[in-house]
Chain A
Amino acid sequence: MRPPARLRRSGCTARRAVRVLALLAALGGRAGAVLAATLVIHVQTPDGHALAGAVVTVRPLDAPPRRPAPAHALMDQVNRAFAPDLLVIPVGSTVAFPNSDSVSHQIYSFSAAKRFQLPLYRGKPYPPVQFDQSGVITLGCNIHDDMLAYLLVTDAPYFGRTDAQGAWSTDVPRGRYRVSVWHPRLRESEADLERELTVGDADRADLQLRLLKSLQPAPITDRPHSWDY
């Protein structure tokens, strides 16, 4: 059975009162001011180990959708591999593919969120690519078949990746949220890993998510890229 989303309440009401007062003072005592709390998401593998590098996106359910500002990101090609091999970017962002290798690459995606083809010849800069639709984009190289990377384009105002302890946190106004988790090697659907939670009066809300299926094995990285794979 799926573990329930757990919300832990902070027991320290005195400290909370001080923070609320301080915040109210800072806001000049305006009526209807939104109070913030820290949302901490913990992602675990089916056997209970921390899952690092999982992408967490958080969308408010009862506030008007607020899109994050587009960013300018960079995904390089180094030693016949994408660096980094996963980027999370807001909708409307651009990504540059500079190609630091001495060999040419031909980057492509046939993912629904963005289909594109981009030849990267040595010493020839190419304009960044814009990503206007949310979704997962799988990137490959038409010359080097083992090159693989992902772009997660999101319209969620809060997003990030879990740390080595499998945790990721952000400050959010109180309210109801939908939390989604994604990983390139996930074997279950993203919908199965969605949770709703309410960030109430407490300073901190914790949500623990455990995958139901183990991840695919990680790609072999120490194999020479010149090999037929």
Chain B
Amino acid sequence: MPNPPHLQVPLRARCPSAALLTLLALAATSRAADWEMSLDTRLVSSDAGRSFMDGGLGATRYDRNDSGAQLGRARFALTASLGELWSAHLDAYAWDDKDRSPVGVTEAYLQFRPYPRAGYRFRLKAGAFYPPISLENRAAGWESPYTLSYSAINTWLAVEVRTIGLEGQLDWLGTRTGHDFDLGLTAGAFGWNEGAGVVLASDGFMLHDRQTPVFGRVGQPGAAPLGAVEPFQQFDGRTGVYAGVEVRWLDRVVLRVLRYDNRADPTAMDFVSGAIAWQTRFNSAGLRVESGTGWTAILQWLDGETLIAPPGLQLVWPFRAQFALLSKRFGRQTLSARYDRFEVETNVPDGDGWQIGHAFTAAWLFDADAHWRVALEWLRVRSDSYYRTEVAGPPLVTETQLQLAVRYAFGSGAR
């Protein structure tokens, strides 16, 4: 009897899955493990077009058919020491959105963390994790402590970008040796990334909080107009790389710059699934400034391109996005406002995949205690998209989504 579709795991995903299981088994036997479970439920009101997970072009997570009660997500996280210098980290999510598996792993990695020596600190990560780009997604589980929906830049990272490979980081800890600055250098090498770019070139930028599970998919197979895509695939045999620099001033200012190139072969195609390798490269920069009075300002910038080159063609989608976020903490409450701008261009003659837009987000978060959090978010996205004309709709649309979220967390890591 064939397996039901949600249990079918592609062959290429089995090897890393086995590694994840081994990692989990190791972590479970560890003498020092911290775990956390949390449940995030939502009340949603939305007038957005069909959601990307249903094959649509809505720029928000919930569309007009999703108004009412929703499962924001359920999360299980585990951090375990493996001996003194190694640790294992796992983040598993359930999004209730018809992915291949009801529970997906968004990050799972081993970290080698020798003690700092003579003012220098080296760290190595191996597994699946986010490259160090976002200055917004700083809370546990790569979530934002400012808003429910991430900025357009960081939503794109959540959807299509993950390091499935290795990352080394060397820090000079100036602030621990009497200076005002710390300096960090990061470099990563990764695979399973040939799909990165396909969502950007079809759906364009979006603003939501769904993180594609490793080897998970975006959209629904057969759902018009976009169907389903898998960002984390490997079939061109090439290794992607990134390198970045981080400068910190005390614990107040962080500046990050990173160059990313998945080095995919744009002529490669997976003959089984028909998937094309998307060569995606970008520069990113971010600045976060915090005051001692509860103010936080974040600026992030992204500029790159994704391209495919089927025989006789070279189709390019340059993209760029920026956002500015301003937030103020009042005790247990946080008020935040963010403005996003984003744009995807193309050299395809009829403009396939072209998108331009901007978004306003306002959010209030209340952390009642270590377990309960209440959040209210208003998000308005105005965007002009080529593909909307393809589905016989107006290309320029304003979508508004209002969410009330209640989150409960428990476990040894939640205290």
Instruction: List A residues at the B interface (Cβ < 8 Å).
Output: 102-104, 106, 108, 110, 117, 119, 121-122, 138, 140, 142-143, 146, 148, 216-220, 222-224, 226-229
**Which of B99-107, B114-122, B209-217 lies on the face that meets chain A?**
B114-122
Interface status of B32 (Cβ within 8 A of chain A): yes
- Return the contact of A146 from the options B117, B251, B294 (Cβ within 8 A): B251
Residues of chain B at the chain A interface (Cβ within 8 Å) = 31-32, 34, 81, 84, 87, 113, 115-119, 138-140, 145, 173, 176-177, 180, 250-252, 290, 292, 294, 329, 331, 367, 412-413, 415
Contact present for A106 and B290 (CB under 8 Å): no
- Asked whether, in the complex, the Cβ of B116 is within 8 Å of the Cβ of A222, the reply is no
Residue of A nearest to B294 (CB): A222
Alpha-carbon distance A122/B79, docked complex (angstroms): 14
9 sample A-B contacts, Cβ–Cβ < 8 Å, listed by A number? A102-B412, A119-B84, A121-B31, A142-B116, A216-B180, A219-B250, A220-B252, A224-B139, A226-B140
A219 to B81, CA, bound (A): 28
Chain B: CB-nearest residue to A117: B115
Query: Apart from A146-B251, A216-B180, what are 19 other A-B pairs with CB-CB below 8 Å?
Result: A102-B34, A102-B415, A103-B34, A103-B415, A104-B32, A108-B116, A110-B176, A117-B115, A122-B32, A138-B176, A138-B177, A216-B250, A217-B252, A219-B250, A219-B251, A222-B329, A224-B139, A227-B138, A229-B251
Q: Across the interface, name the chain A residue whose C-beta is closest to B134.
A: A228
| Majority secondary structure, B binding face | loop
A227 adjacent to B34 (CB under 8 Å) = no
Chain B residue, CB-CB nearest to A185: B250
A121 adjacent to B252 (CB under 8 Å): no
Contact across chains for B139 and A227 when beta carbons are under 8 A apart: yes
A108 with B115, Cβ < 8 A, contacts A217-B292, A222-B329, A226-B139 known: yes
Contacts of A121 in B (CB 8 A): 31-32, 81
Contact call B117/A110, Cβ cutoff below 8 A: yes
Known: A121-B31, A227-B145. A110 touches B292 (CB 8 A): no
CB distance from A155 to the nearest CB of B (A): 21
Given contacts A220-B251, A223-B290, whether A140 and B81 have CB atoms under 8 Å apart is no
Selected from B87, B116, B176, B292, the residue in CB contact (under 8 A) with A220 is B292
Chain A, Cβ-Cβ closest to B413: A103
Would you give the shortest CB distance from A119 to chain B, in whole angstroms?
5
Closest to A146 in B: B251
- Closest Cβ–Cβ distance, residue A77 to chain B (whole Å): 13
Contacts of A122 in B (CB 8 A): 32
Say which residue of B113, B292, B294, B413 sits within 8 Å of A218 (CB atoms).
B292
Contact B138 A228 (CB under 8 A): yes
Contact A220 B290 (CB under 8 A): yes
Once bound together, how far apart are the Cα atoms of A52 and B116, in whole Å?
A: 31
Cα–Cα, bound, A222→B328 (Å)? 12
Contact A104 B34 (CB under 8 A): yes
Residues of A within 8 A of B119 (CB): 110
Inside 8 A of B145's CB, which chain A residues have their CB?
A: 224, 227
Q: How far is the CA of A215 from the CA of B117 in the complex (A)?
A: 26
A219 and B118 alpha carbons, distance in the complex (Å): 23
With the chains together, A108 CA to B119 CA distance in Å?
Answer: 11
Question: What is the CB-to-nearest-CB distance from A72 to chain B, in angstroms, rounded to a whole number?
Answer: 25
The 7 A-B pairs at the shortest CB distance, nearest first, are namely: A228-B138, A104-B32, A108-B115, A121-B32, A227-B138, A117-B115, A226-B140
CB-CB under 8 A from A216, the residues of chain B are 180, 250
**Chain B residues closer than 8 Å to A218, beta-carbon distance:** 292
B412 surroundings in chain A (CB, below 8 A): 102-103
> How far, in angstroms, from A84 to B139 measured CA to CA in the complex?
26
Q: Are B115 and A106 in contact (CB under 8 A)?
A: yes
B250 to chain A, nearest CB (A): 6
Contact partners of B331 in chain A: CB under 8 A: 222
CA distance A140 to B120 in the complex (A): 13
CA distance in complex: A143, B177 (Å): 19
- Closest-CB distance, A174 to chain B (whole angstroms): 36
Distance in Å: Cβ of B23 to nearest Cβ of chain A: 18
Instruction: Find the A residue at minimum CB distance from B171.
Output: A145
Docked Cα-Cα span, A223 to B138, in Å, equals 11
Residues of A within 8 A of B294 (CB): 222
Q: How far is the CA of A102 from the CA of B177 in the complex (A)?
A: 29
Residue from the list A104, A110, A142 in contact with B118, Cβ < 8 A: A110
Cβ contact within 8 Å between B139 and A142: no
Report the separation of the CA atoms of residues A121 and B292 in the bound assembly, to the nearest whole angstrom: 32
Distance, CA A133 to CA B135, complexed state (A): 40
B contact residues around A229 at 8 Å (CB): 138, 251
- Specify which chain A residues have a CB less than 8 angstroms from the CB of B180 in the assembled complex: 216
Q: Are A142 and B413 in contact, CB atoms less than 8 angstroms apart?
A: no
A126 to chain B, nearest CB (A): 13
Contacts of A228 in B (CB 8 A): 138-139
Bound together, the chains give a CA A129 to CA B415 distance in angstroms of 28
